[in-house]
């Protein structure tokens, strides 16, 4: 059955049906999903419970798996889920209890509440992320998305001309250390993922559309006064995430949302950290190499 997509928001996002993502996909199905991702930026697959292995096998159709911040945290945060690339997006510690408020695990859940594109602090960054919902809190804990191509389209011409040739530097620990106040990182850990520089305006390869490449990992604009650059980054991020351009996803257990980190940013919504919230994430690297065949 071919892929069908129902729009989720006037600007982007779609609910997909017609493909069973728990099974190994044909190359035609992979191509259909990629084509839909290029248009919609995010796809929701509802009511298809996935095991961790199935979620990994699904992601591997689209490229090599990304470890992102686990490159820094792997010795400090034990993974609960049995595979290094199956990232535990939860407030649960390795013994199955609500994590300590001051643990790095909890700081990571808070950092996810700031607008970002996954792994934009490294090159290659992440291309696709799949996030699968298992347990939801009684309130909050939704995930919001915004389309960076729509954000570029809606900029005034003067701003477009002003920023067209600027870059920004992204650093993995900026949000954690400077914004949220996690003081627990060693100098060695701070050096694991050195900052990377990106154009502030990029072109999305799959759709050919220009996009405003902003997010919380951006620390400054090289060549511009530090304060002026930070204010400009904050203004652009605010522009990209105005309420009417945002799709807010209300999770149901069994939902998988797949997003294109090259075209969209996202954030989690606040919830009571004393209630369980459990999702599983797998991301792929933004590289053009043949995807590994799922086992």
To Mn ion, the closest distance from the beta carbon of 203 in angstroms equals 22
To Mn ion, the closest distance from the beta carbon of 45 in angstroms equals 18
Interacting partner of 262 out of Mn ion, ligand OGA, none (Cβ under 5 to 8 A depending on kind): none
3-state secondary structure the chain: CCCEEEECCCCCCEEEECCCCCCCCCHHHHHHHHHHHHHHCEEEECCCCCCHHHHHHHHHCCCCEECCCHHHHCCCCCCCCCCCCCEEEECECCCCCECCCCCHHHHHHHHCCCCECCCCCCCCCEEEEEEEEEECCCCCCCEEEEEHHHHHHCCCHHHHHHHCCCEEEECCCHHHHHHCCCCCCCHHHHCCCCCEEEECEEECCCCCCEEECCCCCEEECCCCCHHHHHHHHHHHHHHHCCHHHEEEECCCCCCEEEEECCCEEEEECCCCCCCCCEEEEEEEECCCCCCCCCC
| 32 vs 118 by CB, closer to ligand OGA | 118
To ligand OGA, the closest distance from the beta carbon of 215 in angstroms equals 11
To Mn ion, the closest distance from the beta carbon of 124 in angstroms equals 16
CA 19/CA 32 separation, integer angstroms: 10
* Token reading at 14: 């779609």
Residue nearest to ligand OGA (CB): 268
Interacting partner of 281 out of Mn ion, ligand OGA, none (Cβ under 5 to 8 A depending on kind): ligand OGA
> What part of residues 81-120 is at the interface with Mn ion (CB under 5 A)?
118
Sign of CA dihedral 2, 291, 60, 173: negative
Interacting partner of 69 out of ligand OGA, Mn ion, none (Cβ under 5 to 8 A depending on kind): none
| 143 vs 284 by CB, closer to ligand OGA | 143
| 217 vs 281 by CB, closer to ligand OGA | 281
> Who contacts 241 (Cβ-Cβ below 8 Å, separation ≥6)?
115, 144, 146, 265
To ligand OGA, the closest distance from the beta carbon of 102 in angstroms equals 19
| 87 vs 221 by CB, closer to ligand OGA | 87
Sign of CA dihedral 77, 109, 288, 237: negative
| 214 vs 232 by CB, closer to ligand OGA | 214
Interacting partner of 42 out of ligand OGA, Mn ion, none (Cβ under 5 to 8 A depending on kind): none
To Mn ion, the closest distance from the beta carbon of 18 in angstroms equals 27
Interacting partner of 14 out of Mn ion, ligand OGA, none (Cβ under 5 to 8 A depending on kind): none
The residue ranges that bind ligand OGA (CB under 6 A) are 89, 112, 118, 129, 131, 143, 266, 268, 279, 281
To Mn ion, the closest distance from the beta carbon of 68 in angstroms equals 9
Interacting partner of 89 out of ligand OGA, Mn ion, none (Cβ under 5 to 8 A depending on kind): ligand OGA
| 32 vs 118 by CB, closer to Mn ion | 118
| 25 vs 73 by CB, closer to Mn ion | 73
Q: What is the binding site for Mn ion (CB under 5 A)?
A: 118
């Amino acid at each position: 059955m071919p892929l069908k997509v129902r729009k989720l928001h006037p600007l982007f996002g779609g609910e997909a049906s017609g493909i069973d993502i728990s099974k190994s996909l044909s190359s035609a199905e992979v191509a259909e999903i990629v084509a839909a991702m290029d248009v919609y930026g995010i796809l929701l697959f509802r009511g298809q419970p996935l095991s961790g292995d199935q979620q990994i096998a699904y992601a591997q159709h689209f490229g090599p798996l990304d470890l992102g911040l686990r490159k820094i945290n792997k010795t400090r945060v034990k993974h609960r889920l049995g595979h290094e690339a199956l990232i535990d997006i939860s407030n649960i510690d390795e013994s199955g209890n609500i994590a300590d408020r001051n643990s790095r695990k909890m700081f990571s859940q808070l950092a996810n509440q700031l607008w970002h594109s996954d792994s934009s602090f490294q090159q290659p960054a992440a291309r696709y992320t799949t996030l699968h919902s298992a347990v939801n809190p009684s309130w909050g804990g939704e995930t919001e998305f915004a389309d960076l191509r729509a954000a570029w389209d809606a900029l005034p011409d003067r701003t477009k001309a002003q920023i067209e040739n600027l870059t920004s530097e992204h650093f993995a620990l900026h949000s954690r250390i400077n914004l949220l106040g996690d003081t627990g990182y060693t100098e060695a850990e701070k050096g694991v993922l050195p900052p990377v520089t990106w154009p502030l305006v990029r072109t999305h390869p799959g759709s050919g559309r220009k996009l405003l490449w902003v997010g919380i990992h951006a620390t400054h604009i090289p060549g511009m006064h530090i304060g002026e650059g930070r204010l400009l980054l904050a203004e652009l991020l605010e522009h990209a995430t105005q309420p009417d351009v945002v799709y807010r996803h209300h999770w149901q257990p069994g939902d998988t949302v797949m997003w294109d980190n090259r075209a969209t940013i996202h954030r989690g919504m606040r919830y009571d950290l004393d209630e369980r919230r459990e999702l599983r994430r797998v991301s792929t690297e933004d590289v053009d190499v043949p995807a590994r065949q799922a086992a």
